[in-house]
A and B are shown apart, each in its own frame.
Chain A
Amino acid sequence: MRVELNVNGEDWALDVEPADVLLDVLREKTGVKSPKIGCERGDCGSCTVLMDGKTVRSCLVLAVESDRHVITTVEGIGRERLSQLQDFFISNNSFQCGFCAPGIVLSASELLELNPQPTREDVQEALAGNLCRCTGYEPIIEAILAASREESS
């Protein structure tokens, strides 16, 4: 089956199997490796991507469902220059191993897009689908709140 999709601003036409999931197609056929394989059942959020600006777990999206949609991964977020949020993640030493980072950057970007002035609880809720085993989340939450304060000032 043939699907046409836009990944980080580039158009792709790809042959896929009916059972292929978007995660594998992104990684194997477009070479975009930031969405990670963590659990393959939607629990961990490492495979999070934006589909038309909304977060989805790409391990649970069939490749055929992405036909004629726009996919953004973390490579697409910071393509020209890093977003302010990414800068805060760096300066705050938010991540440790970094395996969850691509997914968390996208979930947090979506949050700030929809809700530029989130409360701590809003941030916790937005991140609740992205598991991080290293950080205890605190330095990630702090960076997102700092980025939102910077945005408003």
Chain B
Amino acid sequence: MTTTFPFEADAGAEDLKSVGTPEVRIDGLDKVSGAAQFVDDIDFGPNLLHGAVVESPHAYARIISIDTTKAEQVEGVVRIVTGKDFPYKFGLYMEDRYIFAQDHVRFVGEQVAGVIARTHRAALQAAKLVEVEYEVLEPLLDPMAAAAPDADLIHPDLAEYTHVPWFFPKSETNIAHWRKIRKGDTDKAFSEADFVLEDTYNVPRYAHCAIEPHVTVSRLDHAGRLTVWSASQSPHTQRHLFAEALAPLGFTHKDVRVITPYVGGGFGGKAGVSMEIIGVAMATTVKGHPVKVRFTREQEFYNTYQRQGVVAELKVGVKNDGTITAVEHKLYWDAGAYVEYGANVVNAAGLSATGPYRVPNISNDSLCVYTNLPPGGPYRGFGYSEFHFGLESHMDRIAEAIGMDPVEFRRKNAIVEGDELSYGGHMNPSGLIEAIDKTAEAIDWGVEEESDNPNTVIGKGMALFWKAPAMPPNASSASFLKFNEDGSVNITVSGMELGQGYLTVMAQIASEVLSVPVEKIRVETPDTDRNPYEWQTVASHVTWSSGLAVEKAAIEAREKIFEVVEQAYNFEDDTLYLEDEHVKSTTSRDFVLPLADFVIDGIQLDDGTWRGGPIVASGKFMPEFTNANSDPETGQGGHPNVHYTVGATGVVVEVDKETGRIWVRKAVLAVDAGRAINPDLVKGQITGGLVQGLATVLYEDMRFDENGRLLNPNFTDYKIPTAFDIPDEMIPIIVEVPQPDGPFGARGVGEHTMIAAAPVIANAIYDAFGVRIKTMPLTQERVAMAIRGES
């Protein structure tokens, strides 16, 4: 059984000119010449003020008093604000966060007050002089302890928080959301299974480490207009949350304008609203002045979203022939002090925690647990990277236990089109088997390799991945398109160019429909006053969703072009087509009309009058086939996910027997892009995502002390990959089984490329030494100790 889609895009179209080609990025010149402007590069003149944040040194404490007297005496200080000035809550999926702390602080780094000053230096100096008296409380740092029934409550008012209807908070506990899936009969399946494996896997927290820090400049002008320049993935969502949170100050959506120029990397860290609201709130107190808040690298680590840690208890049952019969996956998420965004990571993981397998009996519990660590939030992979570590380690172990090759085991159980999903929907068309086979072939799976070096051992690993966009069921995209006098085109959308190549891909889609070359199409970054709505640039959904909106706008423009030409030259319906920027006719071979001749000025008739006028168009897309309503106890009944993107990863590693050092000699990743609108950009996502994912398993790791303070908030102690730390060889493989409702068959690939990087290394280490490491990261030290049989 297959899903039918209400909107049939050109999924199977052939003979394409721009789509499917490795066009040069339309933002390439900007970036290589230094012309690309980021928020911090915009000049605001002499009345620009600078904001600094006073932060909690405690993971959990009650605020007794705040004394700003000394800080106010610093030369250049203009104003100091605290939670008293802004007693407002905000949040994307659950309103559990305050702009500034009210009576309690719940993590080290939480904003207690804000200082506005004429210089950055004065603001920082004054922030240090704000005296805050605390009653220090015992923090809860471990999600298992925090989830216990007798644990102290981090949010005693949880039951009163506003949240989306698909969250299920448990009042009088620290469980902010509990996503359950119950399908089939797992008890029976486990009792009838030939083999059952049960184990626990641990994944710590990680940092996004976009190289551009978070920065906003906010200005409330004297006419009451609030403009925010923001390094953000989510301009419209930011406008919405600013307008909602500050509604008591009299703002409506039309009064708030968010402008987002190029952003220097996001990876989820610049989605939603985190630090931005601090600067916005401060600016409302100094009318006429733009206020800049730019986080330091340290703040980037401890006071923006972090990837949540998870403790994963996994039980899988199989038959001797290798058929998976049941999966029970319990995920205890260390979600941090506020979960307004992170709870949806938990939700997404809970819906899909079986991985890309056909599983008839499922019991998933994904628990969003408050802790006194920094707020968890979206990070490339959105929960899937985390649970795939245990899941894909487990699959190798089961295969070995029943004497089956791990690749064969995966092929046998790989989910295929029409298979039932955990929540009752059906799997979309997918090239998973092809991805598995091509990946296995690329690493010579099954061929044992000996190292030339007596001190090292070669290991190979394979792992699969899948992921669906995690979005509200009505998350939508829109686009405007207009022609210019010379036949060039301007498109406005509100997806963000994060580096993935979104602007280029949108241009390619329009190019294909309109026969206008990509070089003649300009797609600009958003300004919420002028660009049409986009939910957010997250979930790897914009190529698909915004791409559909652009395709529809281009089709509408094409229809308008045909309409005016038909009218002016008396052509029959459906006899015109576009080619090389000209209108041509299937019935009159000599008819060739350049677009530039009429897309603004129109066409003059014999009587001297004109027809037509500027060609403008719009397009929108909302996935009208989804809904998030389901039974809270079973997760059945809804259709929360639009589709899954799948793939496989394989590595060949060389490992030093003594030191545990791992060299990734070859890394292969095959992803089913549906259709690669731009294969070069898909390959860019593969190499970039692979390296980012490999770092999470090889060395990255956020370390906290017993008081909840982050010990490594900088690039010296939290090492991210340099040009030396990449695999010797990376082989990107693009599989293309079209997504029926995707623009030219495309689906997203951005996040997917890092999801299987961790288990694939764990599996390769097992292959090399027969040791199984169940805690990330697999540092040199941990590997060396495991090889020696120490834990």
Task: Check if A and B associate.
Answer: yes
A76 vs chain B, min Cβ distance (A): 9
Q: Is the CB of B210 within 8 A of A93?
A: no
Q: How far is B34's CA from A123's CA once the two chains are assembled, in angstroms?
A: 21
Interface contact A90-B29, CB-CB below 8 Å: yes
Q: Is the CB of B34 within 8 A of A73?
A: yes
> Which residues on B sit within 8 Å (CB–CB) of A129?
722
Given A43-B715, A90-B32, A136-B691, CB of A33 within 8 Å of CB of B723: no
B264 x A39 contact (CB < 8 A): no
User: How distant is the Cα of A127 from the Cα of B31 in the complex, in angstroms?
Assistant: 17
A39 to B726, CA, bound (A): 22
Name A24's closest neighbour in chain B (CB-CB): B120
Query: A92-144: which have CB < 8 Å to B?
Result: 93-102, 105, 123-125, 127-141
Please give, as numbers and ranges, the residues of chain B lying within 8 Å of A124 by CB-CB distance. 722-724, 726
0 or 1 for each of A33-62: is its CB under 8 Å from B? (1 = yes) = 110111111011010000000000000000
Known: A90-B28, A101-B32. A33 touches B41 (CB 8 A): yes
B690 near A131 (CB under 8 angstroms)?
A: no
Q: Contact at A37–B213, with CB atoms within 8 Å?
A: yes
**Contact A135–B684 (Cβ < 8 Å):** yes
Q: Is B473 an interface residue (CB 8 A)?
A: no
Among residues of B, the one whose C-beta sits closest to the C-beta of A73 is B34
Of residues A39, A100, A129, which shows the largest number of chain B Cβ atoms within 10 Å of its Cβ? A39
Contact: A138 with B687, CB < 8 Å?
A: yes
Asked if B267 and A133 sit within 8 Å, CB to CB, the answer is yes
Give the shortest distance, in Å, between B262 (CB) and chain A (any CB): 7
Neighbouring B residues of A40 by C-beta, 8 Å: 296-297
- Chain A residues with CB under 8 Å of B720's CB are 131, 133
Q: Closest approach, in angstroms, between the C-beta of B51 and any C-beta of chain A?
A: 16
User: Are B211's CB and A44's CB within 8 A?
Assistant: yes
Overall SS of chain B's interface:
loop
Bound-state Cα–Cα, A38 to B295, Å: 10
Query: A89–B691 contact, CB under 8 A?
Result: no
Knowing A43-B715, A136-B730, the reply to whether A93 touches B681 (Cβ < 8 A) is yes
Give CA–CA (A46, B264) in the complex, Å.
11
B500 within 8 A of A: yes
Q: Does B692 contact A (CB under 8 A)?
A: yes
Q: How far is the CA of A145 from the CA of B26 in the complex (A)?
A: 23
CB contacts (< 8 Å) of A125 on chain B: these are 723-724
Looking across the interface, which residue of chain B has its beta carbon closest to that of A43? B715
Q: Is B126 an interface residue (CB 8 A)?
A: no
How many angstroms from the CA of A74 to the CA of B31 in the assembled complex?
10
Which residue of B28, B498, B691, B692 contacts A97 across the interface (Cβ within 8 Å)?
A: B498
Q: Mark B710-738, 1 if CB is under 8 A from A, else 0.
A: 00001110001111101000100000000
Nearest-CB residue, chain A, relative to B694: A136
Residues of A close to B721: CB separation below 8 A: 136-137
| A93–B691 touching, CB < 8 Å | no
Measured between beta carbons, the chain B residues less than 8 angstroms from A97 are: 31, 210-212, 262-266, 497-499
* B726 and A136 contact, CB distance less than 8 A: yes
Would B37 and A33 count as touching, CB distance under 8 A?
yes
Residues of B within 8 A of A128 (CB): 722-724
Quote the shortest CB–CB distance from B332 to chain A (angstroms).
Answer: 29
Q: Is the CB of A131 within 8 A of B722?
A: yes
- Give Cα A139 to B687, complex, Å: 9
The residue that A96 contacts in the complex, of B34, B297, B500, B730, with Cβ under 8 A, is B500
Residue in chain B with minimal CB distance to A143: B32
Q: Are B36 and A98 in contact (CB under 8 A)?
A: yes
**Choice from A27, A46, A135 contacting B688 with Cβ under 8 Å:** A135
Cα distance A90–B684 in the bound complex, in angstroms: 13
Interface residue B209 (Cβ < 8 Å from any Cβ of A): yes
Does chain B have a CB within 8 A of A148?
no
B34 touches A134 (CB 8 A): no
Complex contacts, A38 vs chain B, CB 8 Å? 211-213, 297
Interface residues of B in 667-698 (CB under 8 A from A): 680-681, 683-684, 687-692
Q: Which residues from chain A contact B706 at a C-beta distance below 8 Å?
A: none
| Shortest distance between the CB of A124 and any CB in chain B (Å) | 4
Name the A residues within 8 Å of B683 (CB-CB): 139
Which partner residue on chain B sits nearest A79 by CB separation? B33
The 8 Å CB contact of A98, one of B499, B715, B722, is: B499
Chain B residues near A34: list those with CB within 8 A. 34
From 468 to 505 in chain B, residues with beta carbon under 8 angstroms from any chain A beta carbon are: 497-501
For residue A51, give the distance in angstroms from its CB to the closest CB of chain B.
17
Min CB distance A16 to B, Å, is 13
Do residues A133 and B715 form an inter-chain contact, with CB atoms below 8 A? no
CB distance from B375 to the nearest CB of A (A): 21
Closest chain B residue, CB of each to CB of A101: B31
* A91 part of interface (Cβ distance < 8 Å): yes
B649 to chain A, nearest CB (A): 14
Contact A136 B680 (CB under 8 A): no
Q: Which residues of B contact A95 (CB under 8 A)?
A: 25, 28, 31-32, 499
Check if A82 is an interface residue, CB within 8 A of chain B.
yes
Q: How far is the CB of B687 from chain A (nearest CB, A)?
A: 4
In the bound complex, residues from chain B placing their C-beta under 8 Å from that of A101 are 31-32, 34, 36
With a CB–CB cut-off of 8 A, which chain B residues contact A102?
34
From the candidates A73, A91, A127, A141, name the one contacting B24 in the complex (CB within 8 A).
A91
- A96 contact set on B, CB distance < 8 A: 265, 498-501, 684, 688
Contact A93 B41 (CB under 8 A): no
Q: Does B30 contact A (CB under 8 A)?
A: yes
Query: In the bound complex, how far is the Cα of B264 from the Cα of A34, in angstroms?
Result: 12
Alpha-carbon distance A39/B38, docked complex (angstroms): 16
Instruction: Tell me, in angstroms, the Cα distance from A82 to B263 when the chains sit together.
Output: 23
Set of chain A residues within 8 Å of B684, measured between Cβ atoms: 93, 96, 134-135, 139
Residues of B within 8 A of A139 (CB): 683-684, 687
A99 pairs with B211, CB closer than 8 A: yes
Is there contact, CB below 8 Å, between B38 and A99? Answer: yes
Contacts of A18 in B (CB 8 A): none
Among B22, B36, B263, B722, point to the contact of A93 (Cβ < 8 A). B22
The smallest C-beta distance from B678 to any residue of chain A, in angstroms, reads 8
CB of A62, distance to nearest CB on chain B (Å): 15
Judge if B40 is at the interface, Cβ distance under 8 Å: yes
Shortest C-beta distance, A38 to chain B (Å), equals 5
From A36, A95, A96, A127, residue with most partner B Cβ within 10 Å: A96
Report B-chain residues with C-beta under 8 Å of the C-beta of A133.
208-211, 265, 267, 688, 692, 720
Assess whether A82 is in contact with B499, with CB atoms less than 8 Å apart: no
- Nearest Cβ in chain B — how far from A111, in angstroms? 11
A78 proximal to B (CB < 8 A): yes
Is the Cβ of A131 less than 8 Å from the Cβ of B34?
no
User: How far apart are A123's CB and chain B's nearest CB, in angstroms?
Assistant: 7
Select from chain B the residue with minimum beta-carbon distance to A89. B32
Q: Flag if A98 contacts B264 (CB, 8 Å).
A: yes
List chain A residues, Cβ under 8 A from B210.
97, 99, 133
- Contact in complex: A137, B723 (CB < 8 Å): yes
Chain A residues near B790: list those with CB within 8 A. Answer: none
6 CB contacts below 8 A, A to B, read: A43-B715, A91-B24, A125-B723, A125-B724, A129-B722, A136-B688
- Further 9 A-B residue pairs, CB within 8 A, beyond A97-B266, A133-B211, A136-B687: A38-B211, A40-B297, A96-B501, A98-B30, A99-B211, A132-B723, A135-B687, A136-B689, A137-B687
The 3 closest A-B pairs by CB, nearest first: A96-B499, A98-B31, A99-B264
